[in-house]
Structure 1
Amino acid sequence: MTAAVPNAFDDPAYRQGVVELLGLLAYGEISAWERLAEDAKMAPTLAQEAEVAAMASAEWEHFAQLRDRLFALGEDPYAAMLPFQPIFQRFHARTQPEDFLEGLLKAYVGDGLAADFYREIAAFLDAETRELVLDTLSGTGHSEFVVDVIRDAIAEEPRVGGKLALWGRRFMGEALSQAQTVVAERDALTAVLVGNADRPGAVMDLTVIGRMLTRLTEAHTERMDKLGLAA
């Protein structure tokens, strides 16, 4: 039986924005699953391979939740995801790790960035979608084992720190660039992100997006510091 649609979805602009948001998140999760499954193959130990595989499994669970929500709304989740495929493909092509440590750093930073983004947008969503987003958020954090692995690698070979710091800056730069592309191309989605999708005729305040990206960048800096890397 199809789940009841919240009253908020009587507003076509809000509905479109949320469908686009869920499509964006769902594609992000399934692409992260795919990349982590590949990265696990580079692990030097079986224990680390298992840790990365667990991260991939968590991403798949997130994807399934988002996919099922789109189905419940009467939407084709794969059609909702498709517009974001080129963006993620371009992003992953430009942030292809050269080794296992770069893959771990990408996973750790990406996991944290996703969690921060989910927290940012939750307040602007209807109750049921907000609950889904927060529930998905509660499943992040599987990458914490990365901290010890990277710190140990730097202690063993200090030059690794400089290389990974550059990699982290490159990753975040590409992430912000792709986020700005989404904002520029998706008015309905952007309206949801700034909290005015349910106010017809409201002027979109893109400074809200700018402040959000600034907060995400500051959180990234703290995350890099935790790893012993300069952001």
Structure 2
Amino acid sequence: MVNWFWKKRRQPRRTLAVRSRGDVGDATRVDFAELAPELNRFLGQAAYLQLGYFETLTRGIRATPELARKEALSRAAGAALDKHRGIVRVITERGEDPTELMLPFRENLDAFRRKTIGARQEETLLAVYLTAGMLDDFYLALASSYGETGERVAEILREDGAGGEIVSIIQQTIESDEEWRSLLSMWGRRLVGDTLLVCRGALRPERLAQDEQRIEPVYTELMGAHARRMDAMGLAS
């Protein structure tokens, strides 16, 4: 799950390491100090990602005729917007302009979102749930490189949200017609490559070529958490 997408409940405090949501055991730890981007780049990209999820979910609300689903998506969209506003608040308190920090990532992240918008709304919702989960985990790991500011962003990313609403929609869809299971399983697997490219693009390119092996354990953790999210919904990963 995506932390801003889980049902609201108290969870153990998470350490700054890549792991699946709710997993309180040991996780692979990676020193990102030399790979992590400069702080403003980290903040701008993290803020724009959450804004993008809000936009995608808001469009879903407009396209949904069912009132119950509209309400569920509104809660998920609100959680994404809260995270965006939280990161923007961190940026402004540092005396920076949030728009200027986010603007360099608009083109690439909008292209990423277009790739993860499915032909059917259920595919798009699954994409939001799964990609936000992977990217929230990744940014939690990166946050450990930025001291107090990173900890503030980590706290924002750990906030509970309404992901359970999206999971319920996906599960109800599968129960209504078993053919959805194979379709959504295939779609979920297709999301991994593009999401990992976003992660890779967030790192310092000049150091990445030298430290390729350092990032591999993180990719392994992200894909493992992705598989667990898929399995929890009854989808083959």
Q: What range describes the TM-score normalised by the shorter chain of this pair?
A: 0.7 to 0.9
1:22-101 equivalences under 5 Å are: 22-101=43-122
Distance of aligned partners of 1:132 and 1:124 in 2 relative to their CA distance in 1, 3 Å threshold: same
**Structure-1 residue corresponding to 2:146:** 125
Closer/same/farther in 2, CA of residues 16 and 179 from structure 1, 3 Å limit: closer
1:166 aligns with 186
**Partners of 1:171 and 1:14 in 2: how far apart?**
24
Other-structure match for 2:226: 220
Which consecutive residues of structure 1, in runs of 5 or more, have no partner in the other structure?
1-12, 192-202
Q: Say if 2:159 is the partner of 1:152.
A: no
Cα distance in 1 between the residues matched to 2:35 and 2:96: 14
In structure 2, give the amino acid aligned to 1:51.
A
Q: Retained in 2: the 8 A contact 1:115–1:140? A: no
Separation (CA, whole Å) in 1 of partners of 2:152 and 2:213? 27
Q: Give the aligned partner of residue 42 of structure 2.
A: 21
Out of 153, 158, 176, the residue aligned to residue 196 of structure 2 is 176
Measure the CA separation in 2 of the matches of 1:150 and 1:44. Answer: 17
Q: Deviations over 1:5-62 (max 9, x none)?
A: xxxxxxxx99971111000101111111111100122335211111111111111121
Q: 1:122 to 1:225 in 2, by over 3 A?
A: same
Deviates more, 1:156-165 or 1:64-73: 64-73
Moved more, 152-161 or 131-140: 131-140
Shift of 1:151: 2.1
Higher helix share: 1
Q: CA deviation at 1:78?
A: 1.2
Equivalent residue for 1:111? 132
Q: Is the 8 A contact 2:72 2:166 kept in 1?
A: no
Contact 2:37 2:202 in 1 (8 A): no
CA apart distance, 1:140: 4.2
**Unpaired runs of at least 5, structure 2:** 1-33
Counterparts of 1:140 and 1:207 in 2: how far apart (Å)?
Answer: 32
Number of residue-to-residue matches in the alignment: 204
Q: Distance in 2 between matches of 1:143 and 1:15?
A: 28
Say if 2:58 and 2:74, in contact at 8 Å, map to a contact too.
Answer: yes
Residue 175 and residue 140 in structure 1: after superposition, are their counterparts in 2 closer, same or farther (change >3 A)? farther
**AA aligned opposite 1:91:** F
The structure having more radius of gyration, on CA atoms, is 1
Give the root-mean-square deviation of aligned CA atoms: 2.5
Q: Distance in 2 between matches of 1:133 and 1:222?
A: 25
Q: Which residue of 2 aligns with 1:210?
A: 216
CA–CA distance in structure 1, aligned partners of residues 49 and 72 of structure 2:
20
Residues 1:117 and 1:205: Cα distance change in structure 2 (over 3 Å):
same
Task: Give, as a single letter, the amino acid of the residue that structure 1 aligns with 2:38.
Answer: G
Deviations 1:73-109 (A, max 9, x none): 2222211111111111111121222222112211221
Identity %: 28
The residue that corresponds to 1:196 in the other structure is none
Higher RCO (C-alpha under 8 Å, 6+ residues apart): 2
Q: What secondary structure is seen at the aligned counterpart in 1 of 2:38?
A: helix
